[in-house]
Amino acid sequence: MDIFKLTYEEDGVYLELFSEPERSEFLHHLTRKKVVDLSVSTVQHLLEEGIGRTKIAIAQTEYLYGEDLTVVVSGDELEARARLLPPEPGGHLLDLETARQKLEEAGVTHGLDDEEINKLITKKDYGEPYNVAKAILPVDGEDGKLIFHFSTDERTGSPVEIGGGRVDYRTLDLFIPVTEGQLLVTKTDATEGLPGTSVRGNPIKQRIGKETALPRGKNIIYNDARTEMTAASSGLVEYVNNSINVSNIYTIKGDCDMSVGNIDFDGSVQISGSVRSGHTIKATGGITVGGNVEAAKLIADGNVEVKGGMQGSGKGMIEAGGSVSIMYVEQGMIYADGPVTLDVSIHSRIETGGTLHTKGKRGAIIGGRAAAGGDIIANFIGSLSHTKTEVEVGVTPRKRARVLVLEKEMQRLATDKVKLDQLDAYLEKTKGEMNEETWTKLHLSGKENRRINEEETILFTKEIEGLKYEIEHATDSRVHVFETTFSGSRIVIGPSALKINDDISYASFRYSNGEIVYGPCELSKSDRR
CA distances from 352 to 23, 239, 417 (A): 69, 18, 36
Interior/surface letters 472-500, b for 16+ CB within 10 angstroms, e for the rest? eebbebbbbbbbbbbebbbbbbbeeebeb
Quick one: which H or E segment has residue 393?
strand 389-393
Interior/surface letters 118-134, b for 16+ CB within 10 angstroms, e for the rest? eebbeeeeeeeebebbb
For residue 41, what are the contacts with CB-CB under 8 A and spacing of at least 6? none
Pick the closest to residue 358 from 528, 491, 486, 484 (CA basis): 528
CA distances from 460 to 75, 337, 402, 405, 504 (A): 38, 18, 11, 10, 43
Please give the torsion angle defined by the CA atoms of residues 100, 102, 103 and 104, in that order, rounded to the nearest 10 degrees: 90
What is the C-alpha to C-alpha distance for residues 266 and 247, in angstroms, rounded to an integer? 8
Strand order in the sheet with 216-218: 176-178, 235-240, 243-247, 216-218
- Using CB atoms within 10 Å of the CB of residue 287, give its burial: 0 to 12 exposed, 13 to 18 middle, 19+ buried: buried
In this structure, how many other beta carbons lie within 10 angstroms of the beta carbon of residue 247? 22
216 touches 242 (CB < 8 A): yes
Q: First CA to last CA across the chain, in angstroms?
A: 82
CA angle 13/14/16 to nearest 5° reads: 155
What is the C-alpha to C-alpha distance for residues 253 and 517, in angstroms, rounded to an integer? 50
CA distances from 409 to 342, 397, 416, 461 (A): 36, 19, 10, 10
What is the C-alpha to C-alpha distance for residues 226 and 216, in angstroms, rounded to an integer? 12
80 touches 132 (CB < 8 A): yes
CA angle 345/157/287 to nearest 5° reads: 75
> Consecutive sets of 10 residues in the chain, 529 residues long: mean pLDDT of each?
84 89 82 89 88 91 90 93 91 91 92 92 91 94 92 61 47 59 93 94 93 89 92 80 82 84 81 93 90 96 95 96 95 95 96 91 94 93 94 80 90 93 90 87 92 93 86 83 95 89 94 91 77
Please give the torsion angle defined by the CA atoms of residues 233, 234, 239 and 242, in that order, rounded to the nearest 10 degrees: 0
Pick the closest to residue 196 from 133, 72, 110 (CA basis): 110
246 touches 239 (CB < 8 A): no
**Angle at which helices 397-430 and 436-472 pack, to 10 degrees?**
160
CA 180, chain centre distance (Å): 37
What is the C-alpha to C-alpha distance for residues 285 and 320, in angstroms, rounded to an integer? 9
DSSP reduced 3-state for 467: helix
User: Which pTM was predicted?
Assistant: 0.49
What is the C-alpha to C-alpha distance for residues 332 and 311, in angstroms, rounded to an integer? 7
What is the C-alpha to C-alpha distance for residues 111 and 199, in angstroms, rounded to an integer? 6
- Rg of the chain over Cα atoms, rounded to whole angstroms, equals 38
